[in-house]
């Protein structure tokens, strides 16, 4: 029997619909795991100094089964600004989240969760959030901390404004809550889950079961623990924050650890250290040992929970169709340059860990040294799923790089730091060089550092004053100007000039 054209069109539509349904079923889930302040130095797959002590078998397994990125730069090394950038694909001068204080509102702008939700994903955020404002549009569920959150019995705000009090150690109970959400979700849709650990942020409180871990271990010291900063521009560390040990400094970690005046002794789970009568070098060494041990115990807590949620995916048959991403909101000093914390734009603070496991498209054990940054995250994650990428986002998808299916053209990354603790500063990272410009209290550039990233990976030697590098310096200045132009970083929006402030709510 001859079929009518309308019958034929109907059959074609039915076929197309079934293909689309099939495509939807094949769309990968995305498990986005993000730690807070987790340095690459403290992940086995990346570690050098800590290689033989850090215990991250689960993260190392993700790296050996997936791709590991070695040159991911944070454009503003501080919690809230980095997170605002990750969910919007915008630089800090576009999110308006310059420091820890400002609001981010996403009702009227594209965001990563909004893009995935519109693409048919069931979306959730669980754990530390720390971005103020109306920015949870696009999440079907959330249970988050608006600020730092606690290591024990964390209180989360849920979708209905209700408080949830989880009982237990944060990395454990945030993972429990995430697994519960996965168990109860709509399994007809692919999921996008952001599980954000509170660890490894200060005050480095670890689970009780890790109390004796490293008890008899001497943690190796980074080669720059006693860096005197002599050959860098003095404007870069014009203030005293973030020192492992500095005599008479209120912001010295040695003082925090040895006195209940700053964090109380209850904040330091392994107790206070007694450093009276020690030399300055001995004080720094003792402080580093305690800091590194507490920090690495927090790392261990994350690693175990990465293993738990992975095991849940495996047992429920979802592992192979889930892209697992592990990263941190920025890097961290774990004693390098005599520092803790982040902020100052040297490598340990700017470099973010990034591991992506997806055997269907990413080669096991692949290592990617190309330069990328956290502005690129949102577009890349949208791209993984085939979701449209909003034109207003300012990064680039590196999915083609990750899957070895496409070119990658980023050759430089901007840095912008507007907060306190160190001088405000901005600059540019290329594959070969880094230029940082420090801004004084009068909002004038007071000095700059130029580093050769290849020949001076520890960034110990400022080349800006070396006449032999005048051409390189001029090229970096020109590249910085071009990058600022391309991302809309005007003079008025530079660190020191931009109006930073408090959240309105």
Number of residues in contact with Ca ion under rule CB under 5 A: 4
Nearer to Ca ion, 29 or 82 (CB): 82
Which residue, 352 or 436, has its beta carbon nearer to Ca ion? 352
Residue from 31, 33, 37, 233 in contact with Ca ion (CB under 5 A)? 37
From the list 76-84, 210-218, 452-460, 494-502, the region that binds Ca ion by CB under 5 A is: 76-84
> Hey, how many other C-beta atoms are within 10 angstroms of the C-beta on 453?
16
From 54-62, 72-80, 217-225, 296-304, span contacting Ca ion (CB under 5 A): 72-80
Residues 201-260 within binding reach of Ca ion (CB under 5 A): none
- Show contacts with Ca ion in window 95-154 (CB under 5 A): none
Q: Which of 79, 125, 244, 296 binds Ca ion (CB under 5 A)?
A: 79
Least separation in angstroms between residue 256's CB and Ca ion is 18
* Min dist. Cβ of residue 172 to Ca ion (A): 20
Give 429's strand partners: 413, 434
Q: What is the DSSP code string of 144-192?
A: EESSS--SBS-EEEETTS-EEE--SBHHHHHHHHHHHHHHHS-TTS-EE
Tokens of 470: 């005048």
Q: In angstroms, rounded to a whole number, what is the distance separating the alpha carbons of residues 252 and 270?
A: 18
Minimum separation from the CB atom of position 79 to Ca ion (A): 4
**Residue whose CB is less far from Ca ion, 114 or 196:** 196
231: left (phi over 0), alpha (psi -120 to 50) or beta: alpha
For residue 59, the minimal CB distance to Ca ion (Å) is 17
By beta-carbon proximity to Ca ion, the closer residue of 130 and 210 is 130
Nearest to Ca ion of 83, 437 (CB atom): 83
Nearer to Ca ion, 329 or 383 (CB): 329
Contact by Cβ (8 Å): 66, 359 = yes
Under the criterion CB under 5 A, does residue 36 sit at the interface with Ca ion?
Answer: yes
- Let me know: does 237 contact 422? Beta carbons within 8 Å: yes
Question: What's the min distance (Å) between Cβ of 52 and Ca ion?
Answer: 26
3-class secondary structure, 256: helix
Distance, CA of 414 to CA of 490 (rounded, Å): 13
Q: Could you tell me the smallest distance in angstroms from the CB atom of residue 82 to Ca ion?
A: 7
Nearest to 333 by CA among 425, 227, 198, 212: 227
According to DSSP, the β-strands at 366-368 and 445-452 are unpaired
- The one-character DSSP state at 291 is H
Nearer to Ca ion, 63 or 78 (CB): 78
C-beta nearest to Ca ion: residue: 79
Stretch that binds Ca ion, among 19-27, 35-43, 117-125, 402-410 (CB under 5 A): 35-43
CB of 37 to Ca ion, least distance (A): 4
Residue 107 class from Cβ within 10 Å (0-12 exposed, 13-18 middle, 19+ buried)?
Answer: exposed
Options 71-79, 249-257, 261-269, 496-504: segment touching Ca ion (CB under 5 A): 71-79
CB of 311 to Ca ion, least distance (A): 27
Nearer to Ca ion, 37 or 459 (CB): 37
Binding part of the chain for Ca ion, among 257-265, 327-335, 385-393, 457-465 by CB under 5 A, reads 327-335
Task: Give the Cβ contact number of residue 431 at 10 Å.
Answer: 14
**d(C-alpha 28, C-alpha 190), whole Å:** 6
The whole-angstrom separation of Cα 433 and Cα 412 is 9
Pair type for strands 122-128 and 340-341: unpaired
Q: Which is nearer to Ca ion, 95 or 122 (CB)?
A: 95
Instruction: Provide the minimum distance between the beta carbon of 330 and Ca ion in the complex, in angstroms, as a whole number.
Output: 5
Closest distance of CB 38 from Ca ion, Å = 8
Q: Which of residues 421-480 bind Ca ion (CB under 5 A)?
A: none
Binding mask 13-32 for Ca ion (x = CB under 5 A): --------------------
CB-CB neighbours of 6 under 10 Å: 8
Nearer to Ca ion, 82 or 403 (CB): 82
Among positions 102, 227, 294, 329, the unique one binding Ca ion when judged by CB under 5 A? 329
Cβ neighbours of residue 406 under 8 Å, at least 6 residues apart? 399, 400
Report in angstroms how near the CB of residue 77 gets to Ca ion at its nearest: 8
Residue 264 CA to residue 501 CA, distance in Å, equals 29
Tell which residue, 157, 126, 125, has the closest CA to residue 138: 125
Nearer Cβ to Ca ion, position 79 or 355? 79
Contact residues for Ca ion, defined by CB under 5 A: 36-37, 79, 329
């Amino acid at each position: 029997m001859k079929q009518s054209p309308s019958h034929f069109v109907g059959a074609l539509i039915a076929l197309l619909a079934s293909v689309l349904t099939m495509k939807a079923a094949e769309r990968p889930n995305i498990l986005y795991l993000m730690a807070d302040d987790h340095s690459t130095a403290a992940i086995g797959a990346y570690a050098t100094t800590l290689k033989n002590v850090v215990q991250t078998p689960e993260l190392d397994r993700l790296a050996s089964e997936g791709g590991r990125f070695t040159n991911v730069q944070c454009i503003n090394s501080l919690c809230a600004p980095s997170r605002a950038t990750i969910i919007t694909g915008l630089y800090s001068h576009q999110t308006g989240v310059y420091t820890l204080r400002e609001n981010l509102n996403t009702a009227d702008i594209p965001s990563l969760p909004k893009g995935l939700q519109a693409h048919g994903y069931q979306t959730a955020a669980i754990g530390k959030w720390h971005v103020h404002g109306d920015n949870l549009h696009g999440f079907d569920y959330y249970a988050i901390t608006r600020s730092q959150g606690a290591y024990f019995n964390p209180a989360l705000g849920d979708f209905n404004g209700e408080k949830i009090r989880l009982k237990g150690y944060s990395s454990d109970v945030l993972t429990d809550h995430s697994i519960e959400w996965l168990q109860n979700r709509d399994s007809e849709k692919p999921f996008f889950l952001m599980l954000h650990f509170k660890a490894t942020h200060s005050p480095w409180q670890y689970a009780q079961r890790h109390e004796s871990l490293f008890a008899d271990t001497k943690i190796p010291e980074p080669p720059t623990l006693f860096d005197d900063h002599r050959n860098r521009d003095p404007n870069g560390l014009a203030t005293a924050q973030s020192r492992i040990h500095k005599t008479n400094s209120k912001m010295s970690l040695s003082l925090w650890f040895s006195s209940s005046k700053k964090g109380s002794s209850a904040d330091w789970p392994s107790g206070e250290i007694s450093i009276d009568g020690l030399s300055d070098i001995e004080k720094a060494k003792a402080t580093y040992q305690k800091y590194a041990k507490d920090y690495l115990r927090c790392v261990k807590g994350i690693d175990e929970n990465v293993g738990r949620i992975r095991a849940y995916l495996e047992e429920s048959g979802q592992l192979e169709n889930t892209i697992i991403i592990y990263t941190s909101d920025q890097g961290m000093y774990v004693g390098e340059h005599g520092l803790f914390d982040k902020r100052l734009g040297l490598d340990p603070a700017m470099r973010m860990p990034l591991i992506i496991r997806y055997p269907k498209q990413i080669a096991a054990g692949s290592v990617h040294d190309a330069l990328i940054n956290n502005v690129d995250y949102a577009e890349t994650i949208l791209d993984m799923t085939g979701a449209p990428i909003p034109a207003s986002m300012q990064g680039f998808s590196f999915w083609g790089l990750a899957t070895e299916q496409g070119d990658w053209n980023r050759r430089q990354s901007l840095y912008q730091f507007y907060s306190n603790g160190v001088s405000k500063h901005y600059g540019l990272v290329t594959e070969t060089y880094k230029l940082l410009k420090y801004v004084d209290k009068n909002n004038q550039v007071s000095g700059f550092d130029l580093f050769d990233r290849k020949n001076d990976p520890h960034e110990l030697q400022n080349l800006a004053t070396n006449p032999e590098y005048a051409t390189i310096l001029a090229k970096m200045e020109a590249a910085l100007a071009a990058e600022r132009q391309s991302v809309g970083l005007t003079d008025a929006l530079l660190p020191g000039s931009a109006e930073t402030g408090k959240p309105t709510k």
